[in-house]
Amino acid sequence: MVQKASPIRATRGGPVGNVTRGTTNPNRMRRVDRWITGAQARRLRSFPTSPLAVDLGYGASPATAVELFERLRTVRADFRLVGVEIEPSRVEAAKPLEREGLEFRLGGFELPVDGAPALVRAFNVLRQYEEDDVPAIWDLVRSRLAPGGLFVEGTCDEIGRRAAWVALDGEGPQTLSVALRFGSFERPSDVAERLPKALIHRNVPGEPVHEFLRALDAAWLSAAPLASFGSRQRWIAMARTLRNDGWPVRHGPARWRLGELTVGWDSVAPRVTD
């Protein structure tokens, strides 16, 4: 069992964080990577020469870190990536895969890298912490970003069919995205079990994220007559309905047809309680 301790403490200058279970599978992160290299491509191209990306907590296998590196290089051939893991044996196992632009280091949320990252991806990491730990972790990672940099933190299922993530910049959380494989869900709210740690316990009546998931389901059901034209057309109609109903839905059909939906963070952020 993973010990749940404060992740913002390090002993004698060591890595900040706790060892995670490390479960991973090849191509598990394809949905979030597709969003990073698609919806965020303009941002990624705006950085000076040789921008740096960090895959934080890549797990027992470095496969998804290598995949992110290769995908980022389709956007910019000069992208560099450092895979960061808190478990020494995982770093040692990944070392043989190093090449020009790709390396692996021991570390945690303090991000032991040279320079400020343009991108940090941390998937299925914070799920094993407490909800109260999340703001401090977010702030620590954001403090290391380059100007205009992006921190993408989220969760997906074991083979990447359902995923959800928060995108943060230097100012704080900006958006929530959900992405599902067509045919893998009955209703869009099936993604609820993969919400990021900041939201997963907030899926209860009275919380904005609960209302968002209810609105998703209602719009999906209202688009049922389009099912004969395929799930993509139905999802696009769902997204349009949400936007028309006042939800701050981002992007357009080119993203929606992938089973993606992104909304402004303020519309789903947890309510502040005394």
- What's the sign of the alpha-carbon dihedral 7, 8, 9, 10? positive
Encoded tokens for 33: 């990577």
Residue 177 CA neighbour count, 13 Å, CB half: 28
Q: How far is CA 160 from CA 175, 184, 194, in A?
A: 20, 10, 10
pLDDT tens for each residue of the chain, 274 residues long: 334 444 455 445 677 766 666 567 789 999 999 999 999 999 999 999 999 999 999 998 999 999 999 999 999 999 999 999 999 999 999 999 999 999 999 999 999 999 999 999 999 999 889 999 999 999 999 999 999 999 999 999 999 999 999 999 999 999 999 999 999 999 999 999 999 999 999 999 999 999 999 999 999 999 999 999 999 999 999 999 999 999 999 999 999 999 999 999 999 999 976 5
- Give the domain ranges of the chain: 1-182, 202-264
pTM over 0.95: no
Interhelix angle for 208-222 vs 231-244, to 10°?
A: 130
Interhelix angle for 63-75 vs 30-38, to 10°?
A: 20
Name the class of domain 1-182: alpha beta
